[in-house]
Amino acid sequence: MAKIKMTTPLVEMDGDEMTRILWAMIKDKLITPFVDLKTEYYDLGLLYRNETKDQVTVDAANATKKYGVAVKCATITPNKQRMEEYPQLTEMWKSPNGTIRSILDGTVFRAPICIDAIKPVVKNWKKPITIARHAYGDVYKSVDFATTEPGVATLTFKGESGEEKSVVVQKTDGPTVWQGAHNKAKSIRSFARACFQYAIDTKQDLWFSTKDTIAKVYDGEFKKIFEEEFVDYKAKFDELGIEYFYTLIDDAVARVIRSEGGYIWACKNYDGDVMSDMVSTAFGSLAMMTSVLVSPDGTTEYEAAHGTVTKHYYKHLKGEKTSTNSMATIFAWSGALKKRGELDGLTDLVDFGNKLEEACFDTLNDGIMTKDLVGLVEPGFKATAVNSEEFLDAIAERLAKKLA
Ligand code: NAP
Ligand code: MG
C-alpha cells in the first residue's frame, strides 16, 4: 500500500517522561506505517530546553506561526523538586505551554472524548461539551494584600497623557483584604475571535457567560467586545445554522446541567479553570480529553490535556509494564493531521485522521482498554486492561484493516 503523502510539514514538539515514550510508539505503530510523515521536529524535552536556554520553545512557537499547525507532547514545567531531580538545570524554566500561548495569543479549547461504555455522571449529557478558556488576566494577574487598621483604599490609573482616574474601593473599619485585577481589550478581542472561529470550524453553537449584572463595567466590557466581534461572523453562523448567545454565568451553569451537550461554552479565565475541571471529571478523565490552542488567525496547536505521567515513567524505567492511556496524545496527532490535510486540500490525510480516531473507538468498544478506563465502565460492559503497548497494537491492527 502506498503511503499517504503530505505537502507541508507539521510542527512536532516532543516532550518528557512517559508521554515521550508514548509519542515514539504512536509514531512507530500508528502513523509512519501509513503516512509519509513530514514534520519539523523540535525537542521540548526538559534537558534540551535547558541546553538551548529555552530558545527551542520560542523557535517551535514561531515555526507554528509560520506553518499554521503543530502537535505537542506533554512537557515538564520545572519546580523546586524538579531542580533537585535534574541538577544540570541552569534555571527554573517557565511552562512551555505558557510561553507558546503568549506567542500564539491563543485560547484553549478542551472537549471530552466520549464512548458508550463510559457514561457521564450527568445522565442527560449525550454529546461532548467543549470549554473555551480565556488564558489571560483577571485574578491570575491580580495583586492583593491585607491591612489591619481602619482606613480607605482607592484604585488609581495614571495615563501617560497625565490624565488620572480614581475611585474609592472601600472605607474600612478593621482588618481587610484587597485585590486589584485587570484585563486588556486586545486579549478579550482575540479570545472572542478564537471562539467564533472555533464554533465555525466545529459547527457548534457558542455560549458565553460572565457576571455583568455585578461587574457592570468589567464583565460588561467582555460582553460588549464579544457583541462587536460577532458582527464579522454572524453571516457565517447563519449559513451554518449555528447560534451565539450570551447569558449570566449562573444561568449558564443551570442550562449546562440540563442540556444534552454538543456546544462550546466560552468562559473567563477563572470560570474556565473551574468549569473545565468539573466538565472533564463529569465526563470521565483527563486522558479522554482533546485540547487545542487556537489563535485568532487560525493557527492551531494540538496537545494532550494531561501531564507527563511521571509515576508510570519511573515504573517504565525499572523495566515494568505500564498501562498508560494514549488516547489524548493520539487525538492530538489525528487532530493535527486532519487540520494539515484540510489546509492543504489532502483528503487522504483527513480520511486517515478520521480512520485513526475510529480505530481508537473500535478498540475501546471491543473492551480493550488501559487500566484507568476499566474502572469507569458501566456495569455489564466487559473490559480487559492491557498494557500501553498492547493498547497501541490493538488500535494499529484495526487501523490497518480500515485502510486496506
Ligand atoms: P499527570 O502527568 O497528568 O498525572 C497525574 C496522574 O493522573 C498519574 O499519576 C496517573 O494516575 C493519572 N494519569 C494522567 N494521565 C494519564 C494517562 N494518560 N494514562 C493513565 N493515567 C494517567 O500530572 P502530574 O503528575 O501532576 O504532572 C507530571 C508532570 O506533567 C509535571 O512535571 C507537570 O509539570 C507536567 N504537566 C504537563 C502538562 C502539559 O504539558 N500539557 C500538563 C500538566 C502537567 P495513576 O498514577 O494513579 O495511574
Ligand atoms: Mg485547574
Instruction: Give the number of other CB atoms < 10 A from CB of residue 109.
Output: 24
In this structure, what C-alpha cell is assigned to residue 377?
A: 465502565
pTM above 0.95, yes or no: no
From CA 310, how far away is CA 318, in angstroms rounded? 13
How far is Cα of residue 45 from the mean position of the Cα atoms in its chain?
19
DSSP 3-state of 9: coil
Confidence of residue 242 (pLDDT cuts 50, 70, 90): very high
What is the residue-averaged pLDDT of the chain?
95
* Greater pLDDT, 142 or 219: 219
Is 57 close to ligand 1, i.e. is its CB under 6 Å away?
A: no
Where do we find the cell 454529546? Answer: 127
Range with lowest mean pLDDT among 75-84, 228-237, 280-289: 280-289
Query: What spacing in Å lies between the alpha carbon of 40 and ligand 2's midpoint?
Result: 31
Which among 364, 279, 378, 275 has a CA at the least distance from the CA of 325?
Answer: 364
From CA 75, how far away is CA 16, in angstroms rounded? 5
Task: Quote the Cα angle for 332-261-337, to 5°.
Answer: 20
Q: Which helix (H) or strand (E) holds 156?
A: strand 151-158
Which DSSP state fits 140?
G
Which among 84, 57, 29, 74 has a CA at the least distance from the CA of 309?
Answer: 74
pLDDT at 64: 98
Is 322 close to ligand 1, i.e. is its CB under 6 Å away?
A: no
Partners of residue 368 on adjacent β-strands: 384
Which among 178, 114, 133, 124 has a CA at the least distance from the CA of 151?
Answer: 178
Q: Whose CA is nearest to atom 40 of ligand 1?
A: 74
- Summarised one tens digit per residue, pLDDT across range 292-312 is 998 878 899 999 989 999 999
Q: Whose CA is nearest to atom 6 of ligand 1?
A: 309
Q: Where are the domains of the chain?
A: 1-111+300-358, 119-142+185-283, 144-180
Confidence of residue 135 (pLDDT cuts 50, 70, 90): confident
Q: Which atom of ligand 1 is nearest to the CA of 328?
A: 18
In this structure, what C-alpha cell is assigned to residue 155?
A: 484604585
Average of per-residue pLDDT across 52-69: 98
In this structure, what C-alpha cell is assigned to residue 247?
A: 447569558
Query: What spacing in Å lies between the alpha carbon of 17 and ligand 1's midpoint?
Result: 10
The angle, 0 to 180 degrees and rounded to 10, between the axes of the packed helices 55-67 and 96-104 is 40
pLDDT at 99: 87
Q: Which one of 277, 308, 364, 373 would you pick to mutate in the ligand 1 pocket, going by the greatest count of ligand atoms within 8 A of its CB? A: 308
pLDDT at 295: 84
pLDDT at 400: 97
Q: Would the pLDDT of 284 be above 90? A: no
pLDDT at 388: 98
Which among 128, 108, 131 has a CA at the least distance from the CA of 118?
Answer: 128
Is 202 close to ligand 1, i.e. is its CB under 6 Å away?
A: no
Q: Most confidently modeled of 108-122, 216-230, 268-282?
A: 216-230
From CA 221, how far away is CA 200, in angstroms rounded? 23
Q: Which helix (H) or strand (E) holds 111?
A: strand 107-112
Query: What spacing in Å lies between the alpha carbon of 278 and ligand 2's midpoint?
Result: 9
Kindly identify the ligand whose nearest atom is closest to the C-alpha of 97.
Answer: 1
pLDDT at 258: 96
Kindly identify the ligand whose nearest atom is closest to the C-alpha of 270.
Answer: 2
Kindly identify the ligand whose nearest atom is closest to the C-alpha of 332.
Answer: 1
Query: What spacing in Å lies between the alpha carbon of 334 and ligand 2's midpoint?
Result: 25
DSSP 3-state of 160: coil
DSSP 3-state of 212: coil
pLDDT at 102: 78
- Summarised one tens digit per residue, pLDDT across range 172-215 is 999 999 999 999 999 999 999 999 999 998 999 999 999 999 99
pLDDT at 298: 83
- Summarised one tens digit per residue, pLDDT across range 37-47 is 999 999 999 99
Which DSSP state fits 384?
E
Query: What spacing in Å lies between the alpha carbon of 77 and ligand 1's midpoint?
Result: 12
Confidence of residue 390 (pLDDT cuts 50, 70, 90): very high
User: Residue 200 region, left (φ>0) first, then alpha (ψ -120 to 50), else beta?
Assistant: alpha
- Summarised one tens digit per residue, pLDDT across range 67-106 is 999 999 999 999 999 999 999 999 999 889 888 987 887 7
Average of per-residue pLDDT across 254-283: 92
CATH topology of domain 1-111+300-358: Isopropylmalate Dehydrogenase (3.40.718)
Amino acid at 253: V
Query: Cα separations (Å) of 312 from 193, 244, 308, 368?
Result: 39, 42, 9, 19
CB 256 within 8 A of CB 127: no
Q: Would the pLDDT of 1 be above 90? A: no
What is the SS3 assignment for 45-87?
A: CHHHHHHCCCHHHHHHHHHHHHHCEEEECCCCCCCHHHHHHCC
Query: Cα separations (Å) of 263 from 70, 192, 273?
Result: 24, 16, 18
Is 98 close to ligand 1, i.e. is its CB under 6 Å away?
A: no
In this structure, what C-alpha cell is assigned to residue 192?
A: 472572542
